[in-house]
Amino acid sequence: MPLIAVCAAWAVFWGSWSALLPAVKLELGLSAGDLGLALSAVPVGALPAMALAGRLARGRERAALMVTMGLFALSVAAIGLAASAWQLALALLLVGATSGALDIALNLATGRAERESGRRLFQPVHAAFPVVVIAAAPLTGLARSYGLDVAAVLLIVALIVAATSLTLLALPLGHGRPDAPAAGAGRRLWGSAVVLGVLAACVLVIENSVEQWSVLLLEEHRDATPLVASAAPSVYMAALTAGRLIVQALPRTPLRALYLVAGLGGGAGIALAGLGGGVPLSLAGFAVTGLALGPLVPALLSRAAADDASGTMVWGVSTISYTGFVVSPLLVAGLSGWLGLPAALGALGLLGLPLVARFAVERPRRRKAV
């Protein structure tokens, strides 16, 4: 369906981008510090754009998603025009802003489609992202081996994103903005959004840490070869996808149960990955982490969409949870300087405790599936 295609096209860029970074660094003659500073522009652009997009997109979900897809495609192509560190940073600021807005618009559109169709959509839509990321990175490497430069690869990705936006013309969504909640109800909704958003952020801190640090862990602390070490993010992403599809196939799985599975399984998995002491145990830990954590964020967004037709909660949960991506690199870097990387990743298992606590305090809902 169009929403799955949109999420997949969005993931094409992020999977390709990870594989393009060495070439970007080489072509622009950047130091590691210059590249890191430029990359920090992505979250700087994303957070304010997410806040603005949520205000503008509610009630205009399909049009907002088409516009943000178009702008995202333009920003992706613009990276290829950068000729210096500051130009790359500016381009990535635009990528962060448009990607953040796309994130909000996609979640709002998925939430509205769930309410209007009665179908469960968040799990399959979000499952598309890790699958495509896994595929896009090696395909980008293949393209580079055939002589395509960074600008050419990014132009192809931009065209894929722009073409995919046209599929949204076939997306059946209602028109008109839902009634805004009353003042007291609005405060209650934002309070709920903060709680769900913080829980989702705990998940995303761990997810981002696996994406950024798992290869380094295996190479430098487990004596793995580069080929074996590079499999770690793919193992995690494959398990993440499997977890989402399993829950999609079990429609009566309550959100409360997912809190417990994510808290215990995700916490234990990342602790095993960091402290296990060998390559097989670390890979097994990453797989358990992805399997346990994968379904929770889509389930939280689905709950937010079901509980609030105005879109306020989906907007709030999406924006607040993104802070997990922002905090994760600084948190793991700080803990690594104090404890070392293996113990730092193991310590992230403590982020499962708020999820277990939520399981303990949340009252079961009858006949409620995620």
- At 173, is the pLDDT very low, low, confident or very high (cuts 50, 70, 90)? confident
Beta-carbon contacts of residue 106 (< 8 Å; ≥ 6 apart): 3, 6, 7, 10, 65, 125
Give the pLDDT of residue 77: 95
Q: What is the CATH number of domain 2-170?
A: 1.20.1250.20
Give the pLDDT of residue 299: 95
Q: How far is CA 158 from the centre of its chain?
A: 19
Amino acid at 190: W
46-75 tens-digit pLDDT: 999 999 998 888 888 899 999 999 999 999
Q: Considering the entire predicted model, what is its pTM?
A: 0.88
Residue with the larger pLDDT of the pair 23 and 281: 281
Q: What is the CATH number of domain 183-361?
A: 1.20.1250.20
2-170 and 183-361, same CATH topology: yes
Residue with the larger pLDDT of the pair 337 and 187: 337
- At 368, is the pLDDT very low, low, confident or very high (cuts 50, 70, 90)? very low
Least confident of 134-138, 233-237, 267-271, 331-335: 134-138
Cα–Cα distance measured from residue 112 to residue 306, given in angstroms and rounded to the nearest whole number: 9
Cα distances (Å, whole numbers) of residue 320 to 51, 149, 172, 246, 313: 10, 36, 28, 26, 10
Residue with the larger pLDDT of the pair 331 and 74: 74
The domains of the chain are located at: 2-170, 183-361
Beta-carbon contacts of residue 48 (< 8 Å; ≥ 6 apart): 97
- Computed on alpha carbons and rounded to an integer, the radius of gyration of the chain in Å comes to 20
Give the pLDDT of residue 366: 60
Place of tokens 């977890």: 243
Q: How far is CA 270 from the centre of its chain?
A: 18
Give the pLDDT of residue 365: 67
Cα distances (Å, whole numbers) of residue 311 to 98, 105, 155, 190, 297: 19, 10, 33, 11, 16
Number of other residues whose CB lies within 10 A of the CB of residue 236: 30
- Indicate whether 36 pLDDT > 50: yes
Least confident of 2-16, 94-108, 141-155, 162-176: 162-176
- Indicate whether 369 pLDDT > 70: no
Average pLDDT, whole number, for the chain? 89
Tokens representing 370? 């995620």
126-143 tens-digit pLDDT: 999 989 988 888 888 888
The separation between the first and the last C-alpha atoms of the chain, rounded to the nearest angstrom, is 19
* pLDDT above 70: percentage of residues in the chain: 95
- Indicate whether 223 pLDDT > 90: no
Q: What is the 3-state secondary structure (H, E, C) of the chain?
A: CHHHHHHHHHHHHHHHHHHHHHHHHHHHCCCHHHHHHHHCHHHHHHHHHHHHHHHHHCCCHHHHHHHHHHHHHHHHHHHCCCCCHHHHHHHHHHHHHHHHHHHHHHHHHHHHHHHHHCCCCHHHHHHHHHHHHHHHHHHHHHHHHCCCCHHHHHHHHHHHHHHHHHHHHHCCCCCCCCCCCCHHHHHHHHHHHHHHHHHHHHHHHHHHHHHHHHHHHHHHHCCCCHHHHCHHHHHHHHHHHHHHHHHHHCCCCCHHHHHHHHHHHHHHHHHHHHHCCCHHHHHHHHHHHHHHHCCHHHHHHHHHHHHCCCCHHHHHHHHHHHHHHHHHHHHHHHHHHHHCHHHHHHHHHHHHHHHHHHHHHCCCCCCCCC
Tokens representing 333? 């870097």
| Range ranked top by mean pLDDT from 142-146, 169-173, 240-244 | 240-244
Give the pLDDT of residue 178: 58
Cα distances (Å, whole numbers) of residue 251 to 75, 121, 247: 38, 11, 7
